[in-house]
Structure 1
């Protein structure tokens, strides 16, 4: 059996098994239409592939597990929480995924919406084909060729080995090793065009994988990837102190905690990261040990105020 057919059969059998395990009646004509197969195929599923289960035919032509036999259902509390969180999150990637998750989790007690989580994912409408293509290339370790427009408007052709699909601040990126200079870079998904999957495969570069773990897996969670890392000391008070103390960012370390303020150590790649963070919390955040950054901040604020005068 070809791999594609095997995967379809496994998905079909898993779905039927879940329905039976949850005490649902299954009807071959309906299942045949849902999965795009013949009624004979569904009957073969029930009486040959699932022959070890005590499946009984009902008077209305449906099939049901005997009342004395039920598969272990009733997920544990932690499993239920995970499923509910998954259902809440997945629709933010693309609206169609809401129906997909309902189909996959058919029969699970997810009718109530107990969680509301807003991560601000950008809408992938019009770019799902690219998303799926990148996922396929990742699965099979295939190199990519594509046309890309940088944030400065420069367009060029690229060849890269994909390592991750990543989401930073709600925006989707491809993390890939540029074949031209062997450097790990991030490419904004919606700026990628004419994406083609190469027939050639690549081997994971351990140095690149380690860089991903060291940089993105520990201190940083933004799109800018550079091997150089810097540190700056910040002082937080007021609202900034209250919010940061609740959940410090991955690149933020609390050095000292006082009743009136916090002293923080921020790890960053580019000055823009620090300046954006400080401007968000003005006047409750100050730069303590980097006059150059502080001067840049003064100039930006001054320019803004002059423009508003």
Structure 2
């Protein structure tokens, strides 16, 4: 809530490095919107690959580690009986992640926050979906390993009001369009963690909500490349940045840029990775399209593999065979013979 009291003063002047990373995020966002038409199925496969990575990475950031094969089975829902607390919490991460990813889950509101937290802990003995009822402090260790207080969240009595106001102000800020949506999402996460609405699993809650908030704001990269995995690669620095940005939060004199810089940098890394995956897919697709164009529009009535190989430098025999197989299945070509002596011919008017 505190971050949204005076946004113009807080984030009105964006540091140059953050601007550069946001430019990367925006550029990839624009190109990704064309992918369903250009590369059908690519986004679906990327989403399927990112999902288990995100769930496992988010759990690991809270110290929840399950052996790889067992974790894969839990995330896939192939385990009849969960073994121990860590598997229970991993399954909760899965359920919360999948709930936020649903297209019909509805907009951000208090009920969504409560539902996601309930799902995170639903398979454990801990009650979820209940706002904190005891006072809390955030502890850390100094260089001498002594436990020291780093941050005091809002008082229990103020949690409901702060949570309501945070959601209202965040949604209102998105509506005005005055500030970058990614920065607003980062501020929402910062304030949510600072409020600490629940006794436990506040970090997991924030990470579960983040891809959904970004999606609602028009940024889907975290659905295709795991943001949690990017965060986990520099977990200590990321956690330190979040803690640094909570200093003086109660008085609205905090510096959000350590946290925002870290979050936007991780999102830019995800965007770079998505762009690389897309470029690779486009390259493979363009070669297949070259083969298809040659066969249907430039090859003779009959041709052999050697003719296609000569006409298509840089295209592997494997790619040529793949496209020929697809065209054969589509009834556009037929083959006579096998191996090098096989003769291919078109069967429809080009």
Q: TM-score, normalised by structure 2?
A: 0.20
Q: Which has the higher helix share?
A: 2
**Higher relative CO (CA 8 A, sep ≥ 6), structure 1 or 2?**
2
Q: TM-score, normalised by structure 1?
A: 0.22
Q: Which has the higher strand share?
A: 1
